[in-house]
Chain A
Amino acid sequence: MIVKTSAIVLRTIRYGDTSKIVTLFTRDHGKVAVVAKGARSARARFGSALDAGAHLEVVYHARVSREVQTLTQADVLERHRRLSSSLAATTAMMQMVEVVNVLTQPGEPHQDLYELLAAGLRAADRRDDGLADVLIAFRWKTIGALGFEPSFVRCVRCAKEVIPGEPTRLRYHVGKGGPLCSECEQAVISLPSRAGGRDHWSETLVSTEALEGLQRLQSGPLVDAGSRPVSNEVRNEMESVLRLYERFHLEQRTPLRTSDLVREVIRSH
């Protein structure tokens, strides 16, 4: 079967002397591995199209019995100029494609996530600063697209809006996906975990400032993430809840491989 679809390159590995095996995140068929024969030679017909983060229209021959399909054509759909000229933008792009690669399974289409990744790459390409917040927003939105959308403004027990008038630090229940208002926290504090009480394994204290920041990042467009500056302390809090959330709901126990580079290149500036 010949398949024509738009796709974003998640990863490439060298194969043989001149070829590449490319992991594509396609709009219509989810994650697909393809072999791009001769893609690394100087006169490759795919040119520069097959780099991580490239947004393409691809044609490949698919056979159900094969794990790796054969790529026959790849044309660039959207050019991201800064992704090849800015180290911060490149690093942000790498983390975005890694997140999608780690959290998706081959052959499971997910158009919302596809659109989110395309928007994330666009945001990384257009922003000079605030990329740390763009990445946090991207990761929260990815969690939402995968069906684990968190709440930041309503108590997970009584659904009351928590931020106005609440104390400066609230208990965030990662397992239930939201904060506890001060009344509910008092109510559950004496209950055992199995009766809906406290669960030390999935709880953390978060400032209302961080919750407000997370709400802004989750509800606003990616390209605007980080336009309202937050302190490093608040950003660290937002990332810490994010890590706990990813670990609990997505069973992502090992840190992302790009974390160190993001810390060095994006967070340190």
Chain B
Amino acid sequence: MFYTAESVEQLAEHFSQLPGIGKKTAHRLALFVLKMDRPSVDALAAALIAVKEKVRYCSICSNITETDPCAICSSSKRDRTLICVVQEPNDVLAVEKTNEFRGLYHVLGGALSPLDGIGPDDLRIKELLERIGAGGVDEVILAMNPNVEGEATTLYVSRLIKPLGMRVTRIARGLPVGSDLEFADEATLSRALEGRVAV
């Protein structure tokens, strides 16, 4: 039996499938959609469909894109000798926001996590090696998450790339900007000390 209208219940059911959305929030969102004006609802529905119809993975870097190759891979302003390897498309967005990196990306599609059944064959490592093997790359920057899975992926990928003869680097690990030293945990602080730089 439906306590409200059937279509509201169905919409709430769909919202509740989204990550981080519980049943109460899903109902609140469904009722909010009900209060929205018609053009906004049309735009929302069109945006949902467009995302499925237009978005695909870039055939070069595996980032999400509407055009293949993606805007970054096809840009002439990018430094093609530099590849930043990241786990997920979200990480590309995070690095791009810095406006510091002008090279290309390679999205692995996850991190090595045998405990979750994710092995090297489930990541786009082979594609990365093919890309590097094609030549023209001077440096590969490994920008994985600073956890066990990210570290294992960094070590695994670097072991494969180093014999190819280019510079392999990883992003620095240490304290977040704006935080207090006294609240940093031992591991973070010791890594920050290991990675200290001359001033």
Contact check, A90 vs B187: say whether CB atoms are below 8 A apart: no
A84 nearest in chain B by CB position: B151
Chain A contributes a number of interface residues (CB within 8 A of B) equal to: 35
Q: Are B114 and A261 in contact (CB under 8 A)?
A: yes
In angstroms, Cα B187 to Cα A13, docked, is 21
Dominant SS among interface residues on chain B: helix
Task: Give the B interface residue count (CB, 8 A).
Answer: 26
Known A51-B147, A87-B152: A98·B115 in contact at CB below 8 Å: yes
- Given the interface contacts A47-B185, A47-B187, A86-B155, does A94 sit within 8 Å of B147 by beta carbon? no
Q: From residue A53, how far is it (CB to closest CB) to chain B in Å?
A: 7
- Distance in angstroms between the alpha carbons of A16 and B183 in the assembled complex: 24
- Whether the pair B115, A94 counts as a contact (CB closer than 8 A) is yes
For B133, list chain A residues within 8 Å (CB).
none
B34 adjacent to chain A (CB < 8 Å): no
Cβ of B119 within 8 Å of any chain A Cβ, yes or no, is: yes
Give bound CA distance, A48 to B148, whole Å: 9
Complex CA–CA separation, A167 to B151 (angstroms)? 48
Query: Closest approach, in angstroms, between the C-beta of B190 and any C-beta of chain A?
Result: 8
- Measured CB to CB, the closest approach of chain B to A60, in angstroms, equals 18
List 17 A-B pairs, Cβ < 8 Å.
A47-B188, A48-B188, A51-B148, A53-B148, A85-B151, A86-B155, A87-B152, A91-B152, A93-B148, A94-B114, A94-B115, A94-B152, A257-B116, A261-B112, A261-B119, A261-B120, A265-B156
A interface with B by C-beta (< 8 Å): 11-13, 16-17, 42-43, 45-49, 51-53, 76, 79, 83-87, 90-91, 93-94, 97-98, 101, 257-258, 260-261, 264-265
